[in-house]
Amino acid sequence: MPLVTTEKMLMDAQKEGYAVGAFNVENLEMVQAVVGAAEELKSPVILQTSAKTVQYANFSYFYSLVKAAADEVSVPIALHLDHGNSFELAMQALRVGYTSIMIDGSHESFEENISLSKKVVDACAPSRISVEAELGKVGGKEDDIDGGDGGLTEPLDAKEFVERTNVTSLAVAIGTLHGIYKGVPKLDLERLSEIRKVVNVPLVLHGGSGLSEESIKECIKRGICKVNYATELRIAFTEGVKQALAETPNIIDPKKFTTVGREKVKQMAIQKIKICGSVGKAKVAAL
């Protein structure tokens, strides 16, 4: 089916108490793996590319890959720019055909973040393209994203931010990190519940890789509607390739070792979709 935006997809998730998995993809095999997992489980899914990933190739390559995959399946697929770091980059994604865009002004002041986010919302409004923003700083480092030690989202600031920008979803900082966790993260779940009380748009959890199943489910229970995964998919793909090369050192056909990486990513995506609780929700999200 055609690519869809994330606004209705996430509002449906908010209404029914589940989340949609958002998976960072970096090549053909990862796109195939995530879409294959979604189709198998009849789940809506979001495929996303970071600013660093589109520097490696470009928006057109990834749009074409994801559109081709979406056209072959019956489940809702959205293509999202993850951590767009400038208005110009967001507009590149919009022009190419991305159906959801994140503008990350969280490293700016509160007022500058509002101004940048609203500018992107206004530019995307005629095309009815969803816009995600971030308030607070999700810590850790992944690609060019460096949130340092982070900075938690204040509930009343979140309320004002959403009202003034009209974003369709909001990424919040409650103690998660980008990249690989060192030890067990301490999530401020009460803060999440307070944000949910005063913010009516779907909330997004960045740094999903490495969180326990119990933690993610509790976050969903308290209002998270979109969970981002990147690092664990990279690890899965790399481990699959390494395994194939170790077992058959004389392989020279890339298809033979990337196939193993693809299957590892698919199984990882299946696991995360089940944790998010979106199995069988494709029909709901497509209506």
CA-wise closest residue to 75 among 110, 35, 48: 35
Give Cα separations from 178 to 53, 206, 243 (angstroms): 15, 7, 26
What band does 185 get if pLDDT is binned at 50, 70 and 90?
confident
Task: Please check the confidence at residue 147 and state whether its pLDDT lies above 50.
Answer: no
Task: Please check the confidence at residue 287 and state whether its pLDDT lies above 50.
Answer: no
Contact between 186 and 207 under an 8 Å Cβ cutoff? The reply is: no
pLDDT single digits (tens) 78-121: 999 999 999 999 999 999 999 999 999 999 999 999 999 999 99
Mean pLDDT of the chain: 92
Half-sphere exposure of 132 (CA within 13 A, CB side): 33
Q: Dihedral, CA atoms, 274, 277, 281, 282, nearest 10 degrees?
A: -50
Q: What SS3 state is found at 286? A: helix
CA-wise closest residue to 138 among 203, 184, 206: 206
Compute the Cα dihedral for 193, 170, 84, 215 and give only its sign. Answer: positive
Q: In whole angstroms, what is the distance from residue 226 CA to residue 206 CA?
A: 8
Half-sphere exposure of 215 (CA within 13 A, CB side): 18
What average pLDDT does this structure show over 115-132? 98
pLDDT single digits (tens) 191-250: 999 999 999 999 999 987 778 999 999 999 999 999 999 999 999 999 999 999 999 999
Contact between 90 and 54 under an 8 Å Cβ cutoff? The reply is: no
Q: H-type helices in the chain, by residue range? A: 6-16, 28-41, 51-56, 59-71, 87-96, 110-124, 155-165, 189-198, 213-221, 231-247, 254-276, 282-286
Of 98-112, 172-186, 262-276, the range with the lowest mean pLDDT is: 172-186
> Catalytic one among 82, 122, 143, 188?
82
Judge whether 122 counts as a catalytic residue: no
What band does 40 get if pLDDT is binned at 50, 70 and 90?
very high
Residue 154: count other Cβ atoms within 10 Å of its Cβ: 18
Residues 6+ apart with CB under 8 A from 130: 5, 6, 7, 10, 78, 99, 100, 101, 124, 168, 169
Q: Residue 221: what pLDDT? A: 97
Task: Please check the confidence at residue 144 and state whether its pLDDT lies above 70.
Answer: no
Q: Residue 12: what pLDDT? A: 96
Contact between 86 and 108 under an 8 Å Cβ cutoff? The reply is: no
Q: In whole angstroms, what is the distance from residue 1 CA to residue 227 CA?
A: 23
Pairing type for strands 224-229 and 203-205 reads parallel
